[in-house]
Each structure stands twice: as structure tokens, then as C-alpha cells.
Copies of this chain bind each other. A is one copy, B any other.
Amino acid sequence: MSAEPVEGSEKLLKLSVDFGEENPRQVLSGIAKYISIENLAGTTCAFVTNLEPREMMGLKSEAMIMAASGEDFFSLLKMDCPPGSSVK
């Protein structure tokens, strides 16, 4: 739904993600160097959602975005489906 930088971090983005639940989840992700906010907000991507929440820079992260990355590439897993759809 939205993405914004995290003050004091060059790596982290703070995402607000609609998983089809009552409220969106806050997700912290170290992808700020690889993707622009403009290319992220409004897209549908794959996440791991069944992990314990983690704290980063004092902020809670309630899921983990999935990505493939290497020296010269970075790719999210783009989907075209309703928010909260399960991957099998």
C-alpha cells in the first residue's frame, strides 16, 4: 500500500502491506538500495507471513518480503492476484 524510508537507515524501507486481513501489516525490509518506492507501492509481491514479528531500528516487522538478489540483479516476486492470496 505504501513504502517510506526509515530515518537513520540507508538500507531499510518501511512498508504498509495489505494481506487481506483486518489491518495492514508493517514490514521492514532491507531493500532500499535495490528498488525505488515508486516501483514498490501499489504492486503485489510475495511475502513470508508466518514468522514471529521482528524488531529493527525500534520498529516492528510483521512479515518478510521475498526476493532474489545477486551482484548485478535484484528481483521481487511479482504477482497478479488479490491481497492475501496464498502461494502453493
Contacts and interface: CB of A to CB of B under 8 A. Distances in A.
A23 B79 CA distance: 28
A41 interface: no
Given A46-B46, A68-B87, A87-B67, A77 B78 contact: yes
A81 B86 CA distance: 23
A36 interface: no
Contacts of A80: 73, 75
Q: How many copies of the chain does the oligomer comprise? A: 2
A79 B68 contact: yes
A58 interface: no
A81 B87 contact: no
A70 interface: yes
A77 B85 CA distance: 12
A88 B34 CA distance: 15
